Structure 1
Amino acid sequence: MTETLMIHITRDFLDEEGRLTYRDIGLGLLEPETGVQYRFLPQHRSPVTPEMIAGADAVLSLTPAWTAQTFAAGAERLLIVARFGVGYDMCDVAALTANNVLLTITPGATDQPVAGGVLAMMLALSRRLLTKNRLVREGRWHERAYYQGTEIGGKVLGIVGFGGAGRELRRLVEPFGMRVLVYDPYVPDQVLAELHAERAVALPDLFTQADYVSIHCLLNEQTRGMIDRDLFARMKPTAFFFNAARGPIVNEADLIAALQEGRIAGAGIDVFEEEPPAQDNPLLGMDNVVLSPHSICWTDECFQAIGETAIRSILSVCRGEKPFGLVNPEVWEQTGFQRKLTAMGRRRGSQGR
């Protein structure tokens, strides 16, 4: 007798009434699959508890943290945690690996939405859109001559981290004729050449030359707090700063000081050191700052693509195939994982590999 493959979905995909918050997260891909069921967890908890993974072959996870405590009772059945998104700083990769659990992310699904959001902030700040909107609403039409904007064409864009979103931003600004500098020690010269970008050998050089600086690197121990007062001090007073990666990459107090002291012209911020930010955070009261609640890339199309990518990863594992977007690929060859994969295949009436 075959058993059903069980997918748990974290509760934070639902609103307080239990309705799906987002229009489409790719669940339609599961409808034609036989012997596959999913259920939304009854409560939202972070970090994920042992009870939340009990009986699950896979988990589709939005925001909860995954820690060593999550696996206090082991992970006898769990094969994969499919993270809904590209960031995984909330996941203890070592703990997942030690418990023979794959972790996948959704590279590619958010690249254009993130890059498009950053470009929108660049244009809004350059054209002083927030101020001009207020002039009309407040009956200050006659003041418009005092608020000239600037063009982004012909300016220098500095991109820190040249993964998918960084490369997509470079493509989007191509029609504007921007010169693009990239700081990413891991990107090959060939990639830079193909995308008509120049390498900044050192991070301070990029901050010195750029009219716009956009952060697109991962958050890890090397990048935490990497953007600080010394780098902001190197920026032109006419330059703008953007962060749509992770808040802790930037020393937020140093960014606030640079804005308050007029050392940079403005900023577009989608992510914060503390989320949500405190209501007395000075960034919230600055007219030269565009803010977004860690959702600059959130569109119906983006969420559908993220969900479908994550669910395809789950289904790949269920077919005994290595999934896309693996963070810890070494798990695939671990004896403990292969044992679980084989057991899953037997339960479903087919060999897992």
Structure 2
Amino acid sequence: MNTTSPETPGTIKIGMTREFVDSGAQIWDRDVFARVSALPNVVVSPVSSDAAGIVAQDLAEYDILVVRKTGVPETAFTKPDTIRTRLIARFGVGYDHIAMDACTRNGIAVTISPDGVRRPVAGSIVALVMALSHRLREKDLLIRRGDWPQGRVMLGMGLEGRAFASVGFGNIAREAFRLMRPFGMRYLASDPAPDLAAADDLGVEIVDFDTVLREADFLAVNCPLMPSTKHIINAEALARMKPGAYLINTARGQLVDQQALVAALASNRLAGAGLDVFESEPTGADNPLFAFDQVIAAPHSLCWTDECARLTSECVYNAIAAHLDGRPLPHLVNRSLSDVAQ
């Protein structure tokens, strides 16, 4: 990563949040990062502040900010006259941690990276369906405990003829349905604004939310987190689900009421759950969900593969290059700023 040097006229400063350099992990694809660093007049460096979120100083110092999970709160916009940033490129897709109204109000375009996570997250959903249906974690625990006989007779669930359903029919959900097609299941989705042509092409039946809950053998949560969707899977929704069904959440933890999910598992209404996200992250080892052998858990990282790193990096590079060239920004969130350029 380039380090800052005395700034010359025309220099474009790109700030990357500390998580890219402090985690010890390779987040950026190296080849793609080299292409970003090689852009004309560009200097790339970690943001100067070491705060947990972006602060006013960062917005005043950088033309472009690349963020992953670091928040961009409303408090960062307390000095609007000093704001230099014109693009925030999100390394990922969710943007509930970015103060979008403040960005739009101050002329800052925000882009996301859906091409990077589409296949990796969808693959994670398929992996959880397979692991849950074959009761992989439960059998693994039994054999590690020396209980070979019980593991031999533990019955799983075949997929053919079962219902795989999604709350949401967006980018990731559509890819998950595409990957699930060979299993001969019934495919259902609920969405307030579905792509009907894609549904027809994928053989997915668009139904209402209640039908998704009632019919699903495997229910995947694939909607964005917003005030209207927080705890969309709550005690009432879980009570309407088919007894013995499985819940999968790879989207956002706050879409599911954790306390209600614990109760549904404890009562054996649900057969199990696959969770890559939690209401509070990072979650602790004392999370009550971990008391259930039929829960498969991961630290919001199931999709994190070399493919995900490369494709997400490409998305960020494309957004930066388009911004510098004055071209339309790919995957722009605040579309009212569609004419934003350098």
> TM class, shorter-chain normalised?
over 0.9
Out of 170, 184, 194, the residue aligned to residue 187 of structure 1 is 194
Listed one character per residue, the Cα deviations across residues 69-93 of structure 1 (whole Å, up to 9, x for unaligned) are 2121225421100011000000111
Are 1:117 and 2:131 an aligned pair? no
Asked if structure 1 preserves the Cα contact closer than 8 Å seen for 2:49 and 2:57, the reply is no
Does 2:171 align with 1:164? Answer: yes
Alignment match, 1:222: 228
Shift of 1:31: 4.1
How is 1:270-285 mapped onto 2 (pairs within 5 angstroms)? 270-285=276-291
Q: Is the 8 A contact 1:8 1:53 kept in 2?
A: no
Once the two structures are aligned, what percentage of the paired residues are identical? 34
Q: What's the secondary structure of 1:103's corresponding residue? A: strand
CA drift at 1:35: 1.2
Written as runs of structure 1 = structure 2, the 5 A alignment for 1:108-147 is: 108-147=115-154
Letter in 1 for 2:269: R
Residues 245-275 of structure 1: per-residue CA shift (max 9 Å, x gap):
1111111111111011111100001111111
Work out the number of aligned pairs and report it: 333
Is this contact kept in 2: 1:152–1:178, CA < 8 A? Answer: yes
Give secondary structure in 1 for the equivalent of 2:164. Answer: strand
The equivalent residue for 1:48 is 54
Extract unaligned runs of 5+ from structure 2: 1-7
Aligned residues of 2:72 and 2:99 also touching (Cα < 8 A): yes
Asked if 2 retains the 8 angstrom alpha-carbon contact of 1:212 and 1:241, the reply is: yes
User: Which one-letter code corresponds to 1:115 in the other structure?
Assistant: A
Q: Distance in 1 between the 2:177 and 2:260 partners?
A: 27
Measure, in 2, the Cα distance between the counterparts of 1:108 and 1:6: 25
Structure 2 counterpart of 1:98, from 100, 105, 113: 105
2:27 corresponds to which residue?
Answer: 22
Question: Does the residue aligned with 1:109 lie in a helix, a strand or coil?
Answer: helix
Note if 1:312 corresponds to 2:318: yes
Structure 1 residue 34, shift from structure 2 partner: 2.1
1:141–1:76: structure 2 CA closer, same or farther, 3 Å change rule? Answer: closer
Deviations 1:174-202 (A, max 9, x none): 110111001012013222111110011x2
**Equivalent residue runs for 1:291-330 within 5 Å:** 291-330=297-336
Query: Post-superposition shift, 1:50?
Result: 1.0
Decide whether the 8 Å contact of 1:10 with 1:62 is kept in 2: yes
Q: Does structure 1 conserve the Cα–Cα contact (< 8 Å) formed by 2:169 and 2:189?
A: yes
Q: Relative contact order (C-alpha < 8 Å, sep 6+): which is higher?
A: 1
1: CA distance, partners of 2:335 / 2:214? 38
Q: Which moved more, 1:259-268 or 1:35-44?
A: 35-44
Shift of 1:307: 1.5
Deviation at residue 151 of structure 1 after TM alignment: 1.4
Return the offset for 1:332: 3.6
Tell me the equivalent position of 2:5.
Answer: none
Deviations 1:195-242 (A, max 9, x none): 110011x21111111111000000011111111111111222221001
Deviates more, 1:204-213 or 1:30-39: 30-39
CA RMSD of aligned residues (A): 1.7
Q: Secondary structure at the residue paired with 1:323?
A: coil
- Amino acid in the other structure paired with 1:234: R
* Partner residue of 1:199 out of 190, 201, 206: 206
Give the Å deviation of 1:2. Answer: 4.7
Cα deviation, residue 146, structure 1: 2.8
CA–CA separation in structure 1 for the residues paired with 2:213 and 2:185: 16
Match of residue 18, structure 2, among 8, 11, 22: 11
| Alpha-carbon separation, structure 1, partners of 2:50 and 2:184 | 47
